Chains A and B, each alone.
Chain A
Amino acid sequence: MTQPTTFPLEVIDLKKNYGSFEAVRGLSFEVRAGEVFGLLGPNGAGKTTTISIVTTLEQATSGQVRVFGIDVAKNPLLVKRQFGVVHQEIINSGFFTVEELLQFQSGYHGLRRNGERIRYLLNKLGLYEHRDKRVKQLSGGMKRRLMIAKALVHSPRLLLLDEPTAGVDITLRENLWDFVRDLKREGIAVLLTTHYLEEAELLCDRVGIVNRGRLEAIGETSRIVHQFARKKVILDTRSSGRKEIFAPIEKPLGDILRDAGVDPMDLRDIQVEQGRLEDAFRRLLTGDKAAPAEGAKA
């Protein structure tokens, strides 16, 4: 008999109400070992609320959250040992140095001598030479990296990243992407929320798109793009000038031209922009996912 799979994170029919306002409305998804799962949605979609429930900062109204099979509501203390979290807001604690903060964080997880791991993370995240600085002396990007180091100091197998690259410059963002890829290679499961859809497309094996607390779509990133995004074909014809056509990604170019009534001999130029996650996201949120993914405008 096969054992049921234990996922690093399992969210089952999660609901969270604030008075009469439904912040999360029956969310269900799982994050698998060694994958980066992106939870995407506009502001107020319920992403941070969901992370807050996973991290025990908030209590669910109903539903269940399990971390490595452990119920968050029933055994919060045990669950807290299993994950690391990088909150959305930057922390500015002014009293302690970078190294002291990492030592304290290790201690909270029961690790008295954790120097090797701390040095590894300081080096990996480019903070080693800043280890004696107080947090308020660090730049925004360094603070963000420190938060990631804190989240990883106890070597968790599940990492929750709540908009980790918000307000971070492109170089640092790319460094962080590389770091997340390394974590993935180490088999760590990552739940990522981000407003940068390019980032989600690059990093996430699977994504869930949330809107007003409800899951609109979930699946492999490439499948979501394929299913909901359209490619844009920009035609420049001798007879009628410039024309943009939106079509399903899998539709062959010949069929698009034929359906648009364009004679290939009439073409001066043609450009094809492949469908992106951003397009899928926009279409899902504006609610025209059911409409035929085709159309033309001059």
Chain B
Amino acid sequence: MMVAFLTLLERECRRFMKVIVQTVVTPFVSSFLYLLVFGVSLGAAVELKNGVPYLSFLVPGLMMMALINNSFQNSSSSIVSSKFSGDIEDLAVVPLTDNQIIWALGLGALLRGVLVALVTLAVGEVFHDQQLGVWLPVAHPLYLLYFTLVGGLLFAFLGISVAFWSKGFEHLSAFSSFVLLPLTYLGGVFISVESLSPFWQQVSRLNPLLYLINGFRYGMLGVSDVEITQSLLVSFLGLLVFYVMARISLSRGSFQRW
């Protein structure tokens, strides 16, 4: 049983390593540009209420954005490309349980997310050192680990659910553009919610990503726009909900090729 699970996990890792340019080089370029434009140029004019330099504020936000986007993309594109090529049926007829499939795809996606987040961190550290003369600290390593694991897995499970329910590439693309992207941008990657009006602060609190991004930021910088216990609870609940969704999508979703 364990061999089957490890094989699928290995396949997932080797799949994203086959597209190393997409996995490492693209996020390297995009994080470089984000940090240059937002962190250095525009960031000089931004003053945060909690006194944290904007560049320090931005790096963990970008890391979390990289983590969740890549986790989502990895699990969903793995299933969607299998649906397109037809080998999704193979997955359904080999002796793997739904639980094994979800965890293997989830961990594979998490690993890709962590890899891309580390690339973002490496670029961020260089900018941070150059601009502020110090390396970016890690205030609470255990919180950082918790939000990395929960954030990556949560979006990996979401990717599995969306991909199994998708009837075509456009479904997946629509979800990414109309749901994931706005939530990410409005979840506190680039701005502190404290800088918003009270109304939009309340609206932002309905966005589950706010808790993940701020929890992760708390792990690195020790500051957060929301209570850390609230972040811990909301993200854990989110993980449970998306795991259940992934289980349901596997048992009721389609294993038919497109």
Contacts and interface: CB of A to CB of B under 8 A. Distances in A.
Interface of A: 55-57, 77-78, 80-81, 85, 87, 89-96, 100, 104-112, 135, 150
Interface of B: 1, 3-4, 6-8, 10-11, 14-15, 18, 81-82, 85-87, 89-90, 92-97, 255, 257
Nearest to A112: B3
Given A57-B255, A93-B85, A107 B90 contact: no
Contacts of A87: 86, 89
A108 B92 contact: no
Contacts of B93: 55-57, 80, 85
Given A107-B7, A109-B4, A110-B1, A92 B86 contact: yes
Contact of A100 (B14, B86, B89): B14
A57 B255 CA distance: 7
A108 B4 contact: yes
A107 B3 contact: yes
B85 A94 contact: yes
A55 to B, nearest CB: 5
B8 A108 contact: yes
Contact of A110 (B4, B15, B92, B255): B4
A93 B93 CA distance: 16
B94 A93 contact: no
A150 B90 contact: yes
A36 B4 CA distance: 30
Contacts of A90: 86
Contacts of B15: 95-96
B59 to A, nearest CB: 32
Given A81-B95, A85-B93, A95-B18, A111 B3 contact: yes
A108 B9 CA distance: 11
Given A95-B18, A107-B3, A108-B7, A80 B86 contact: no
B92 A57 contact: yes
A108 to B, nearest CB: 4
B95 A80 contact: yes
A107 B6 contact: yes
A92 B85 CA distance: 5
Contacts of B97: 77
Given A57-B89, A95-B18, A110-B3, A104 B95 contact: no
6 tightest A-B CB contacts, nearest first: A107-B7, A108-B94, A80-B95, A91-B86, A93-B85, A92-B85
Contacts of B89: 57, 87, 91
Contacts of A150: 90
A81 B96 CA distance: 10
A39 to B, nearest CB: 18
Contacts of A80: 93-95
A135 B81 CA distance: 14
Nearest to B4: A108
A91 B85 contact: yes
Contacts of B18: 95-96
A85 B94 CA distance: 10
Contacts of A112: 3
Nearest to B3: A110
Contacts of B7: 104, 106-108
A100 B14 CA distance: 10
Given A95-B15, A104-B11, A109 B94 contact: yes
A231 B94 CA distance: 46
Nearest to B78: A95
A218 B243 CA distance: 47
Nearest to B18: A95
A108 B87 contact: no
Given A81-B95, A108-B94, A108-B96, A93 B4 contact: no
B4 A89 contact: no
B3 A105 contact: no
Contacts of B95: 77-78, 80-81, 108-110
Contacts of A111: 3
Given A57-B92, A107-B6, A111-B3, 17 more contacts: A55-B92, A56-B92, A57-B89, A77-B95, A77-B97, A80-B93, A90-B86, A91-B89, A91-B90, A93-B81, A94-B81, A95-B81, A96-B15, A100-B14, A104-B10, A107-B4, A107-B10
Contacts of B255: 57
A77 B94 CA distance: 8
